[in-house]
């Protein structure tokens, strides 16, 4: 293995560790908010997308130590850092919906909380998305490399069976293959959390949602 490859592999390990740490921080915050204010499907509806995102941000971060509350800056970067973000195909992309509320965590990760219209117009399904830049303003500023996406959702078997909402990595339930073909870079969040690697950056054509799950496994 060449020196650049070794350095990249080490950096990916750092990224994975930081991502899991941030996921743990946010998961606990979501759970604590639901303990205090009831399950998220019971939270009041403001009738305004921005106000709903603000409400979610306020309650989720109530027990977190924030370096900064960034409010609602541009949807094309985090906390007005002026950086341009791209997906795994190199296309410029937004990091959050226009109506989002952003902040900077104590561990240096920037994040945006955005309310999502619950599926089927009911208080079931996906409630919000939380996108995270785990290394702040540092490069590469790419979804799937240092920017990842989580979703607060419940997984009902149908529209009459309720399950408690939790924070899941995007791609956990649906379309994980869109990480491997770079169709939806945010879905790579689930790949990293589930398989503990970022090999979709190195041998995506050899990987599959049914296995193999790493380049090493694919070589066997």
Q: Give the per-residue pLDDT at 5.
A: 78
In which residue are the tokens 């900077």 written? 104
Q: Give the per-residue pLDDT at 159.
A: 57
Max CA pair span of the chain: 55
Q: What is the 3-state secondary structure (H, E, C) of 70-86?
A: EECCCCCCCCCCCCCCE
pLDDT at residue 119 tops 80: no
Classify residue 196 as left (phi > 0), alpha (psi -120 to 50) or beta. left
pLDDT at residue 120 tops 50: no
96 versus 148: the higher-pLDDT residue is 148
Average pLDDT value over all residues in the chain: 91
- 14-48 pLDDT per residue, tens: 999 999 999 999 999 999 999 999 988 888 888 88
pLDDT at residue 66 tops 70: yes
R_g of the chain, CA atoms, integer Å: 17
- 185-212 pLDDT per residue, tens: 999 999 999 999 999 999 999 999 999 9
């Amino acid at each position: 293995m060449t020196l650049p490859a070794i350095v990249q592999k080490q950096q990916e390990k750092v990224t994975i560790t930081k991502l899991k740490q941030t996921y743990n921080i946010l998961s606990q915050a979501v759970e604590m908010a639901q303990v205090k204010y009831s399950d998220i499907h019971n939270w009041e509806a403001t009738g305004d997308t921005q106000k709903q995102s603000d409400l979610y941000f306020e309650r989720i971060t109530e027990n977190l130590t924030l370096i900064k509350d960034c409010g609602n800056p541009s949807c094309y970067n985090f906390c007005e850092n002026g950086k341009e973000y791209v997906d795994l195909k190199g296309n410029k992309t937004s990091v959050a919906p226009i109506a989002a509320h952003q902040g900077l965590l104590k561990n240096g990760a920037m994040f945006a909380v955005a309310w999502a219209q619950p599926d089927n117009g009911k208080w079931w399904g996906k409630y919000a998305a939380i996108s995270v830049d785990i290394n702040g303003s540092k490069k590469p500023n790419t979804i799937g490399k240092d920017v990842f996406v989580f979703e607060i959702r419940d997984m009902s078997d149908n529209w009459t069976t309720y399950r408690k909402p939790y924070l899941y990595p995007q791609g956990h339930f649906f379309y994980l293959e869109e990480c491997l073909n770079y169709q939806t870079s945010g879905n790579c969040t689930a790949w990293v959390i589930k398989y503990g690697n970022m090999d979709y950056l190195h041998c995506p054509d050899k990987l599959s949602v049914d296995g193999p799950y790493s380049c090493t496994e694919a070589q066997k």
